[in-house]
Amino acid sequence: MSWLELIAAGLGIVAVWLTVKQNPWCWPIGLVMVLLYAWLFYDWRLYSNLLLQLLFAALQLYGWWQWTRGGERHDGRKVSRLGLAAVLSGLLIGAGGAWLLGYLMANYTDASSPWLDSALTAFSLVAQLWMAQKRLQCWALWVVVDLCYVAFFLYSELFLTAGLYAAFTALAVSGWLSWRRDPALQYQR
């Protein structure tokens, strides 16, 4: 455990808590957090997670834009639901991305856990894209992904990061419950 990991973990908790509260400051705080984690994952030789953090950095900027300027009237997105076809399409894209990235990491790098790391990376990207678009289903996918990350980081003996992802899991449950009550969803039925 390092000071850098401790700072990144603290910023991660703040960023996700702000996301649950639908506060757009979650995005710039999240940007700093993912850049710190990119450095850490490089040191730990978790290259898919390094790649994930770099892609998250771009998605942090996209999410900040969507939450402050997106939507039909360019006044920020409102919470919405994805249809079943969109959910299944997103999950299929995640599975395809997991396979492709896993193959590349297993065959062309010295990644320590190429297949699991790649699967978690791909599905995290789907969840983060849904979050940037304020889709309710992002939280359900985050619960599953975060629970898998807890087990993965415990196995990798990255205990602080495992604890962070346990907190992320609890925040994802809170996000699901909070966003389900959002008034914007009442008009979408």
Report the pLDDT value the prediction gives residue 139, as an integer from 0 to 100: 98
Report the pLDDT value the prediction gives residue 50, as an integer from 0 to 100: 87
Report the pLDDT value the prediction gives residue 167, as an integer from 0 to 100: 94
For residues 177 and 170, what is the distance between their CA atoms, to the nearest angstrom?
11
Sign of the torsion formed by the C-alpha atoms of 1, 116, 131 and 154? negative
- % helix / strand / coil in the chain, to the nearest 5? 80, 0, 20
For residue 19, CA distances in Å to 12, 45, 135, 142, 152 come to 10, 29, 12, 13, 24
The number of angstroms, rounded, from the C-alpha of 75 to the middle of its chain's C-alpha atoms is 24
8 A C-beta contact, residue 51 and residue 28: no
**DSSP secondary structure of 33-55:** HHHHHHHHHHHTT-HHHHHHHHH
What 3-state class would DSSP assign to 135?
strand
Report the pLDDT value the prediction gives residue 185, as an integer from 0 to 100: 87
Below-70 pLDDT ranges, the chain: 1, 187-189
Report the pLDDT value the prediction gives residue 158, as an integer from 0 to 100: 84
